Amino acid sequence: MTRELTEITVIGGDKTGIVAEVTSLLFERGINIEDIDQAVREGLFRMTMHVDTAEMVCTEGTLKDALSDLADELGVEIQVRFPADRETKQIAVLVTKESHCLEALFEAWANGDLGADIGVVIGNHDHLEPLAEHYGVPFHDIGDEKGSPDEDQLLGLLEEYDVDLIVLARYIRILGPNVVFRYEDRIINVHPSLLPSFPGAAAYRQALEEGVRVTGVTAHYVTTDLDQGPIITQRALDVPDDIERDELKQRGQPLEAEALLEAVKLHLNDDVTVHRGRTSLRDDSDSEQYQLGLSREAIDATPDRPIDGKADVLRSDDSEGNGNADETEEAVPTDD
């Protein structure tokens, strides 16, 4: 049975003693730490803990107050998210100029298929403001004339709209650790390649230049390492001879929207978990409702013969027939 764990995130300057102070406070209140992860980027420290508060010897309010006082004492920021903090989660969608992923999210939301509210759309250009207005969602442009975003303004908006999940709907900008650390495992991006192949910019062009026959798209959690976060869903597409980059991109866009939308639903339904950089479906999730990778048709079309083993069977039959069953061959290591 899956336990609902409280998430505690500590953000601040990198200095000694933070981990000991926070973990000691939790221990004193009967709180068990189930998972802990730490990182430092550009002098910024982040610690994320998932803790079991089912048998803690204080109220939720008392714990929040105690952690707030400790944060002031240490000069850090401490966020606490209890499992039942909100029934309807709030999504912030970050965009640049491409609309297809935002359209898919809006359509699912309008049809009641999303499982959360899109509270705000934030862009580094104002190109998609009319689409947000069409759905009655506030739009904020945080980019300068070159499209460079103001991350302080971004953080202020995320706090103002009390955001639970950030969705990068073809947001063509890299988020800094100041944002990523505060929303660990709560930022989902879609990248136009089968990661880890072709990370970074111009992924479709990279695929064409490398001459691959199959490429695809990947929805993944965002980390401070570019396009290396835990993979949630992927889709594959064929790369025909002589196809141009624009046509390949056009073929990939519907798959980008589909993979991103499914990844968002997996997250919102709490059907996916992240452990040591890898995602997996929870034991109690309905795996049949998701297409994490290839379609059922593609899986059924995959050949299932030949496979290793026939030589071993023949060798065994030969050994039995010639009375050589006791003869053994030195094992040869493989790459498995």
**Tell me: the pLDDT tens digits for 220-264?**
999 999 999 999 999 999 999 999 999 999 999 999 999 999 999
Residue 311 inside a domain? The answer is no
**Residue 58 in contact with residue 31, Cβ under 8 Å?**
no
CA distance 173 to 175: 6
Assess whether 163 and 247 both reside in one domain: yes
The half-sphere exposure of 237 on its side-chain side, counting CA atoms within 13 A, is 23
Strand partners, 90: 117
Assess whether 40 and 108 both reside in one domain: no
Residue 306 inside a domain? The answer is no
Assess whether 202 and 132 both reside in one domain: yes
CA distance 273 to 5: 12
Assess whether 198 and 112 both reside in one domain: yes
What is the residue whose two structure tokens read 């506030």? Answer: 138
Assess whether 40 and 112 both reside in one domain: no
pLDDT value for 84: 76
Residue 325 inside a domain? The answer is no
What's the pLDDT band for 69 if we cut at 50, 70, 90? very high
Strand partners, 187: 166
Assess whether 55 and 166 both reside in one domain: no
- pLDDT tens for 71-85 read 999 999 999 999 877
Residue 253 inside a domain? The answer is yes
Four-residue CA torsion sign, 278, 281, 283, 284: positive
Residue 190 inside a domain? The answer is yes
Query: What residue type is 64 in one-letter code?
Result: K
Residue 331 inside a domain? The answer is no
Strand partners, 139: 121
**What are the phi and psi torsion angles at 173 (to 5°)?**
-145, 150
Domain count, the chain: 2
Assess whether 162 and 184 both reside in one domain: yes
Tell me the CATH number at 114.
Answer: 3.40.50.170
Task: List all residues 6 or more positions away from 296 whose beta carbon is below 8 Å from its beta carbon.
Answer: none
Tell me the CATH number at 61.
Answer: 3.30.70.260
Residue 95 inside a domain? The answer is yes
Assess whether 134 and 79 both reside in one domain: no
> Average model confidence (pLDDT) for the chain?
91
Q: By mean pLDDT, which of 55-69, 112-126, 287-301 is the weakest?
A: 287-301
Which residues are marked as active site? Answer: 227
- pLDDT tens for 260-278 read 999 999 999 989 988 878 9
What's the pLDDT band for 3 if we cut at 50, 70, 90? low
- pLDDT tens for 156-176 read 999 999 999 999 999 999 999
Domain final residue, candidates 39, 69, 85: 85
Report cis status (omega within 30 of 0) of the bond before 230. Answer: no
CA-CA distances (angstroms) from residue 71 to 37, 45, 147, 217? Answer: 18, 13, 34, 40
For the CA atoms of 139, 140, 144, 147, the dihedral, rounded to the nearest 10 degrees, stands at -50
pTM of the complete model: 0.85
Domain of 60 in residue numbering reads as 6-85
